[in-house]
Amino acid sequence: MRKAIVIVVAFVALTVAGCKSKQDQLVELNAQFDSQNAQYQKNCLLAPAEVIQRTQAECKAQRDKMNPLGKKIIDLQNDIAASKR
């Protein structure tokens, strides 16, 4: 009996955790983007010139990682705006 209750509780918890509103998803994506952008700014824009020259490949990789995330944010913002009309 206990095992069945544990399974039901775990299932409900996973179901609720997986049901995020679009606004919650947007907040999460923005937090991820802000974190990555802060790291990018620190490593790739505000670093001394000699460091920037050495880390160009890393900076490109960071930009490539941020671009799809930015696109997801824009798409989600547009989706939220469209649903309000």
Q: Say whether pLDDT at 7 is over 80.
A: no
Distance CA 20, CA 28 (A): 10
Residue 30: CA count within 13 A, CB half-sphere: 9
In 41-55, alpha helices (H): 49-54
Q: Say whether pLDDT at 18 is over 90.
A: no
Distance CA 50, CA 9 (A): 55
Q: pLDDT tens for residues 32-78?
A: 999 999 999 999 999 999 998 999 999 999 999 999 999 999 999 99
pTM reported for the whole predicted model? 0.69
